[in-house]
Amino acid sequence: MKYRKLGNTDIALSALGLGCMSMNHAYGEPDDNESIATLEKALELGINFWDTADIYANGANEELVAKVLKPNRQKIFIATKFGFELNTKGKYTAFNGSPAYLKKAVEDSLRRLQTDVIDLYYAHRIDPNVPVEEMVGAMADLVKEGKVRYLGLSEASANSVRRAHAVHPISALQSEYSLLTREVEAEILPVCKELGISFIPFSPLARGLVTNTLDVSTLKDGDFRKSLPRFQEEHAENNRGLTQEFAELAAGKNCSAAQLAIAWVLAQGENIIPIPGTKRRKYLIENAGAVDVNITADDLAKIEVLLKKYPNTGERYSEANNKFVDKN
b/e 29-44 (16+ beta carbons within 10 angstroms → b): ebeeeebbbbbebbee
**Under 8 Å CB-to-CB from 219, ≥6 apart: which residues?**
225, 226, 231
Q: Which amino acid is at 203?
A: S
Alpha carbons 223 and 311: distance in angstroms, whole number = 25
In sequence order, the 6+-apart residues with CB closer than 8 A to the CB of 105 are 54, 82, 83
- Identify whether 56 is a catalytic site residue: yes
With residue 256 as reference, give the H or E element that holds it. Answer: none
Using left for φ > 0, alpha for ψ between -120 and 50, and beta otherwise, residue 90 falls in left
Integer angstrom CA distances of residue 21 from 65, 159, 219 = 10, 28, 17
Which entry of 3, 27, 56, 122 is annotated as an active-site residue? 56
* Distance between CA atoms of residues 193 and 199, nearest Å: 9
Q: Determine the straight-line distance between the first and last CA of the chain, rounded to whole angstroms.
A: 37
Residues with a known catalytic role: 56
